[in-house]
Amino acid sequence: MKCGKVYLVGAGPGDPALITVKGMECLRKADVVIYDRLIDDSLLEEASPGAEKMYVGKGRGCHAMEQKEISLLIVSKAREGNTVVRLKGGDPFVLGRGGEEAEILAANQIPFEVVPGISSAYAVPAYAGIPVTHRSLASSFTVITGHEDPEKDKSSIAWDKLSTGSDTLIFLMGMGNLAQIVNQLIQNGRQPSTPVAVISQGTSPKQRTISGTLKDIVPKAKQENFEPPAVIVVGDVVKLREQLRWFDNLPLFGKRILVTRAEHQAKELSQLLLSRGASPVGMPVIEISPPRSWRELDRAVRNLKSYRWVVFTSVNAVDIFWKRLYALQLDSRWLADTKIGTIGPATAAALEERGVHPDYVPKIYTSQGFLAGLKRNDIAGCKVLLPRADIADNEISDGLARFGAEINQVTAYRTITAAKSNSQAKQMLLRGEIDVITFTSASTVSSLLAILGQKWEIIRKARLACIGPKTAAVLTQKGIKADIVAQEHDIPGLVAALEHYFKERGK
């Protein structure tokens, strides 16, 4: 059997968006992914569905595998003919034992490549607003392990030279030895008044930073209960933090926000929340399911030439309509003589991806907004096809009928309560650890309440954010007022409403 190849890939410091382009390319083609403790789960989702994912993480006092076992595992999987990605936090050659793994591969004549990653040594301080060098303050920086190999006879750190030999000192894996590090620096000539920052879980929405000096940073870290992983920065550049901090000043920084959308639609909202510093917690409470029979929708598609209008009220309706077009060996040309109406820019964008520009998109993305704008169009006597969810209300169809249109409302898909929801997210909600619950449709409200059962009133502990008034009305029926209702009834509008809410209240 032909030997495979190993890629030692640096995943970056925590934020999954910081993996390199080449690192992502390797990950997507891997047969086997062997990954560490601090790898973000969303990166693992980028691997192919058939890839074998093997956890070998190591934490303080808890090792899934010892280093020798990890190295032998990498060799074994490569010898089976696999493309192996060894996914490591930060950069594999910066205090990451990637060098040792490369030595083993070389000794066993296993082909390998090293894909450098963004190191936490400079990325984590950058996310805390601390440049490791600065023209006026620091012309050098040094990266030091805060946790040497315990089997070494003596320390290889020359504290007498290191303490004052570099402007900025950056210690990785040093949280457990913070007191010893501080003592060594002071004893070897660094002034007790030297600024220090400790940054925990850097580049993630859970990032925490404390600043002080060599004299007081240890009691401050104990008081704040700081734990690994953490980066320690020593030097005058720490003074720039208050002026340059940006990440933990993002409008939704640190907020744990429940995303209840169907799994295949949650990405847009989660990414927007991440970009604002929030920590999205996925708990899909609904699933999109086919109708019990395609007969009615297929009949409408075949007879599309008899309709003057087709109105799409959701991206799901567009997706499923096109799947039936293809199933019937038709394509976008079949709509050439039909006018297209949509509610909202996302639905319009889904059409445009298929080469169809809608004839009508209302300025207000609601059923009422759609009908109000459509009054100006002469649709009396027109036949209108409305492919929709099984649970959709009749506001649009009744309104169109009042205008004199002939309506055929067809079930294109069913919205059902998710059979399996994220149990971890549910437990966080029940423990009161969620700051905001987002609802993007009436069905997400009713489905979450159904999943929670008799404990549904726990949602009162979180702030409740709705994409529009119709969604908020479902909460009102339960005697609960939504805290946040978006003015623009789409995903960006919901995120903007969240930002506005917390800005007004000073977060």
- DSSP string across 165-199: HSSEEEEES-GGGHHHHHHHHHHTT--TT-EEEEE
Selecting among 5, 22, 58, 339, the annotated active-site residue is 58
Do residues 395 and 386 lie in contact, with contact meaning Cβ atoms separated by under 8 Å? no
Name the H helices within 227-380. 241-244, 266-275, 295-302, 315-327, 345-352, 367-374
Q: Is the peptide bond before 228 cis (omega within 30 degrees of 0)?
A: no
Selecting among 31, 36, 91, 435, the annotated active-site residue is 36
Residues across the chain: 507
Q: In sequence order, what are the beta bridge partners of 9? A: 87, 115
Do residues 6 and 26 lie in contact, with contact meaning Cβ atoms separated by under 8 Å? no
**Catalytic status, residue 173:** yes
**Catalytic status, residue 216:** no
Distance CA 396, CA 391 (A): 13
Residue with tokens 């395609």: 294
Do residues 227 and 410 lie in contact, with contact meaning Cβ atoms separated by under 8 Å? no
Distance CA 108, CA 104 (A): 6
Distance CA 293, CA 308 (A): 25
- DSSP string across 374-438: HTTS--TT-EEEEEEETT--SHHHHHHHHTT-EEEEEEEEEEEE-SS--HHHHHHHHTT--SEEE
Q: What torsion do the CA atoms of 386, 387, 391, 395 make, to the nearest 10 degrees?
A: -20
Helix (H, G, I), strand (E, B) or coil at 135: coil
Do residues 221 and 210 lie in contact, with contact meaning Cβ atoms separated by under 8 Å? yes
Selecting among 40, 77, 173, 426, the annotated active-site residue is 173
Closest CA to 316 of 153, 441, 173, 433: 441
**Catalytic status, residue 58:** yes
Catalytic residues: 36, 58, 173
